[in-house]
Amino acid sequence: MSIRSAAGSGNAMDAELKQREVKVAKVIATIRPPVSTAQTYEPEDEPPLYLARRKIYPQSVHGTFRRIKWAVLIVTLGIYYFLPFVRWNRGRTRPTRQC
């Protein structure tokens, strides 16, 4: 005795499944009708995906803090580049530079 014979005939179950599939397909068709993209697509109807590139123009900046920034920059770069050339006495116990 098989499971199909106990539940009924296999053909009846297959027919019932097909009917359910047809019903589900009809419901899906009413919710979302098929759309052919090749016939309905018109690019003139849609806005462009990207905006045109805006140009960026540099502006000059004036003011007290800008002048202070440049002064600090010049002083610190001067220390960085010219201090290694300055010689000073390191004391008797320290070795001297041999450059």
More confident: 40 or 47: 47
Residue 53 lies in a domain: no
Which structural domain range is residue 27 located in? 8-34
pTM of the predicted protein model: 0.37
Q: Residue 29: pLDDT above 80? A: no
**Tell me, what's the pLDDT at 65?**
94
Residue 17 lies in a domain: yes
- Phi and psi torsions of 94, nearest 5°: -95, 145
Residue 54 lies in a domain: no
Q: How many domains does the chain have?
A: 1
Identify the CA nearest to 86 among candidates 94, 75, 78. 78
Q: What is the DSSP letter of 99?
A: -
Q: Which residues contact 71 (CB under 8 A, 6 or more apart)?
A: none
**Under a CB-based contact definition with an 8 Å cutoff, are residues 97 and 87 in contact?**
yes
Q: Which residues contact 85 (CB under 8 A, 6 or more apart)?
A: none
